[in-house]
Structure 1
């Protein structure tokens, strides 16, 4: 893993710098990129995120090329706590692989899960949890939308899950049926319209070929609040495979529970070179209810005073009643 030191440096960068309260009035989707935000969907919220993917790969060294059509999905549910969500996600791929190194070329068709995981995410730190920190300035638009140093303090969540691979998978023939996956997600909301998300993922670390990767995503909300655009950088490194890719795209909010999106991306290397695009939707069933606030109607307990305290009170009362006492 010769690129491991560089990835570790990036990991520390993402953790050092990074939305709103845990539940939001509009849908909180991880699409259209591959990054994962720090915030959960909210207690009792069921959310589905689905996409259609097309990818073209060419490997000059192996003289192969492939065309992949895939369906990716994520089912997210806010369980028990505002900070906790369960996530089932995966990518089912249909691949047409052409081997140009033989004469005549051979075409192979494969299909199975390229990725399939089940896990939980928990928000361990939220800088916006205190409502005093999120109060808007009623007299200044500029103050609400300008850069503040405290915006660099990220929300942080931890993820733990398992890769589940079914037998006979042609894409992952040597992978065990179950392997671990852990991640750290950070998220910052900067100057009103910018969202910065960073992910560090350590995957399959109990196997002979663990994978360390990062994702850095920047999203900008346009003046029309229904539109947003994003740019994302992803790096992957293992003994068998390494890649750096860049993708960008846009999302359109249809209503508070429904979003559509599209993106396009490419890799920076030719072993293989990659060109890919996605279109997708996100939809939620919002059964969220605010937790009722409880108030103690009992009068506050009176603190018993000792003799010394009573003596001081008497002296104070006497001084207050003395017209010659300076005030």
Structure 2
């Protein structure tokens, strides 16, 4: 429960500050990797992220194997504010579990959601809000490549969601079903040279007998506006399952609204060993419109600044003005 207290403390510290998340001209995907960015997709942006994968696991002491496929997915939408995002996330898997502990191998075919969560993420602090575009030093190449200490201050977002687990789910611990809360703190540092560091601290299935704590660290590097590579580590700790997973891969920006990616996942233990290959895509429907800023130059404001005409006596409908010689 200490993690929850820390999460809400961070929220109270930063929520009093006025923040503004910047909408990006190109897609802002959480892929590749499984960590969550601190930034939202932007208001009136609908985004779908899907990653089919193949999975192989082998538990040496128990002499069982798992082989199959699955898909992880996320639907994200920017609502009301630039900082706010609502999302639906989940993992569906179909596999065959083979028990080789006896004289005869016993196969069990399984298929279900490993997770299904509805939640919302809010950016509570953005250090890049007023940074703007820094001008390069035209006289020093070294000055443009030096480390900037202010980049150590991360953007911070908080997440709250609800898990919906089905009854008798073979992927989950015993007696885990129905609703359970999930919270997360996500940070993001954007360093010079195209490096980005993301950290997630997650407390999942809160209130159940098998609540777990997770951390995810993701380091990405973009070579150019289209290609990016990443390395990621994910730690999971609970009474039901504990692991340290490592991922490597990359992504390609096909267009400003479409991204492709791939990743390899593995670990270093045999209880069980994990090997997975993932191919993913991200696509957005961009209906974002920048809010108009009232700078006092609108037609209505211009009309207000015009000098007012002096009030005079109203002429009668039948009155006509004549010159001295009687002409109009």
Smaller-chain TM-score range? 0.7 to 0.9
1:239, CA displacement in angstroms?
A: 1.2
Q: 1:136–1:144: 8 Å Cα contact kept in structure 2?
A: no
1:21, CA displacement in angstroms?
A: 5.2
Partner Cα distance (1:186, 1:200) in 2: 9
- For residues 125-173 of structure 1, what are the alpha-carbon distances to aligned partners after superposition, in whole Å with 9 as ceiling and x for unaligned? 00001144x4332636654443201011000000000111123422225
Which residue in the other structure is 1:194 paired with?
195
1:114, CA displacement in angstroms?
A: 0.6
Partner Cα distance (1:156, 1:63) in 2: 43
Q: 1:220–1:230: 8 Å Cα contact kept in structure 2?
A: yes
1:241, CA displacement in angstroms?
A: 1.3
Which residue in the other structure is 1:73 paired with?
73
Partner Cα distance (1:164, 1:141) in 2: 53
TM-score (norm 2): 0.81
Partner Cα distance (2:255, 2:267) in 1: 33
Structure 1 residues 146 and 257, CA gap change in structure 2 (3 angstroms): farther
* SS of equivalent residue, structure 2 residue 293: coil
TM-score (norm 1): 0.82
Which residue in the other structure is 2:13 paired with?
none
* SS of equivalent residue, structure 1 residue 209: coil
Which residue in the other structure is 2:150 paired with?
150
Determine if the alignment matches structure 1 residue 184 to structure 2 residue 176: no
* SS of equivalent residue, structure 2 residue 193: coil
Q: 5+ residue gaps in structure 2? A: 11-19, 303-328
Partner Cα distance (2:178, 2:145) in 1: 48
Which residue in the other structure is 1:319 paired with?
none
Determine if the alignment matches structure 1 residue 136 to structure 2 residue 135: yes
Structure 1 residues 221 and 141, CA gap change in structure 2 (3 angstroms): farther
Q: 1:79–1:85: 8 Å Cα contact kept in structure 2?
A: yes
Partner Cα distance (1:43, 1:91) in 2: 26
Partner Cα distance (1:51, 1:186) in 2: 23
* SS of equivalent residue, structure 2 residue 156: strand
**Aligned-residue RMSD, C-alpha:** 2.2
Alignment of 1:1-327 (within 5 A): 22-132=22-132, 134-137=133-136, 139=138, 143-172=143-172, 173-222=174-223, 224-296=224-296
1:191, CA displacement in angstroms?
A: 1.2
* SS of equivalent residue, structure 2 residue 150: helix
1:178, CA displacement in angstroms?
A: 0.6
For the pair shown, the structure with the greater C-alpha radius of gyration is 2
Q: 1:263–1:278: 8 Å Cα contact kept in structure 2?
A: yes
Partner Cα distance (1:225, 1:171) in 2: 39
Partner Cα distance (2:122, 2:285) in 1: 20
Q: 2:247–2:264: 8 Å Cα contact kept in structure 1?
A: yes
Partner Cα distance (1:40, 1:143) in 2: 32
Partner Cα distance (1:145, 1:78) in 2: 34
Partner Cα distance (1:103, 1:159) in 2: 48
Which residue in the other structure is 1:321 paired with?
none
- For residues 221-266 of structure 1, what are the alpha-carbon distances to aligned partners after superposition, in whole Å with 9 as ceiling and x for unaligned? 01x3210000001100011211001110010000100000001021
Q: 5+ residue gaps in structure 1? A: 13-19, 300-327
Q: 1:229–1:251: 8 Å Cα contact kept in structure 2?
A: yes
Q: 2:21–2:82: 8 Å Cα contact kept in structure 1?
A: no
Partner Cα distance (2:208, 2:59) in 1: 26
1:192, CA displacement in angstroms?
A: 3.2
Q: 1:58–1:273: 8 Å Cα contact kept in structure 2?
A: yes
Q: 2:232–2:248: 8 Å Cα contact kept in structure 1?
A: yes
